[in-house]
Structure 1
């Protein structure tokens, strides 16, 4: 695997556009997806540099601008499969199998990632947050969430379902982050995240919407980045 930031997709990596022949049983949407994958320079770069998915470059580009990842940090990766974000996080934090500082979870099966403590489990399971905290061994510096609900084809429904996952991830981040920590999560455009944004603005110094270059222009995905965690919210008992 190349070091983060080595090489960029460009004209030299594209070559000629690949056309896929129609096949029995293949839908028009799957045909378009396959052609897009075969002609995507980030997909080619991921194969060339040893990353498991093109998603690694989304985190890489965000990190290059906002400097989220540093050696020695504790990081949680929610919705980790197939492992691109975990790979990058482990490489930059210098997490090892002997002393893993990156903890990841996904209900999908996923091959082990060096330096990552991986759980194959649904993050919405009641005991999932406790397991992640125990494996982390201390407050997190960064909580990542690339979780998205399976799409239905109805944009507003997909947006609402993914916002719910982001809200659950944000609640977890408020419980495990250390002061000064950051939270990065995927959302879909749709306009229903006002309550989530208000929560993040109360508890973080700054909140940004980000569309990294490797996020496809026709994709409805955006990333919410909250930086500078102010500390755990006080309980009613503490305020009373």
Structure 2
């Protein structure tokens, strides 16, 4: 029996599935935090472009499980399955309404950290894809 396309996936894909992470990108955030302690002392976090939710899972494990009073807000256009300690908003990060909902959840206080691992759907037209990525970065910067 020959190898299937699933057998060709990298080690982080397999590790993510084994450890019940929603995506292999969880390891990216954990590595950044391990090296730079970006989540140390964080009580209010925002995860932009959150679906499928692997970064929100990391925030839940490293922030919420340490301090049940912490608040984590995850935003995406797509719905996500629930994650303990994570408030999920289905919305557009370019919308003022979405920004106001985040502010409401933090009772007017500022977030300690805003993370974003978003990328637009690629079309194959390099100039358009580059433009869409720049617009997404600008939207993330503006909501921050």
Q: How does 1:9-20 map to 2 (within 5 A)?
A: 19-20=3-4
From 105, 115, 128, give the equivalent of 1:144: 115
Q: Which residue of 1 aligns with 2:33?
A: 63
Q: Are residues 1:156 and 2:127 paired?
A: yes
Q: TM-score, normalised by structure 1?
A: 0.54
- Please provide the CA RMSD for this pair: 2.1
Identify, as 1 or 2, the structure richer in strand: 1
Cα pair 1:78 1:106 within 8 Å, conserved: yes
- Structure 2 unpaired stretches of 5+: none
What per-residue deviation string (whole Å, max 9, x for no partner) do you get for residues 155-174 of structure 1?
3321221111111211222x
Q: Which residue of 2 aligns with 1:28?
A: none
Q: Are residues 1:122 and 2:106 paired?
A: no
The CA distance in 2 between the partners of 1:59 and 1:126, in whole Å, is 27
The CA distance in 2 between the partners of 1:123 and 1:171, in whole Å, is 9
Q: Count matched residues.
A: 141
- Structure 1 unpaired stretches of 5+: 1-17, 21-34, 174-240
Using CA pairs under 8 Å that are at least 6 residues apart, name the structure with larger relative contact order, 1 or 2.
2
Q: How does 1:171-186 map to 2 (within 5 A)?
A: 171-173=142-144
Q: Which residue of 2 aligns with 1:41?
A: 11
Q: TM-score, normalised by structure 2?
A: 0.87
The CA distance in 2 between the partners of 1:65 and 1:104, in whole Å, is 23
Identify, as 1 or 2, the structure richer in helix: 2
Cα pair 1:100 1:117 within 8 Å, conserved: no
Q: How does 1:72-91 map to 2 (within 5 A)?
A: 72-91=42-61
What per-residue deviation string (whole Å, max 9, x for no partner) do you get for residues 187-221 of structure 1?
xxxxxxxxxxxxxxxxxxxxxxxxxxxxxxxxxxx
The CA distance in 2 between the partners of 1:69 and 1:95, in whole Å, is 13
C-alpha displacement of 1:71: 4.8
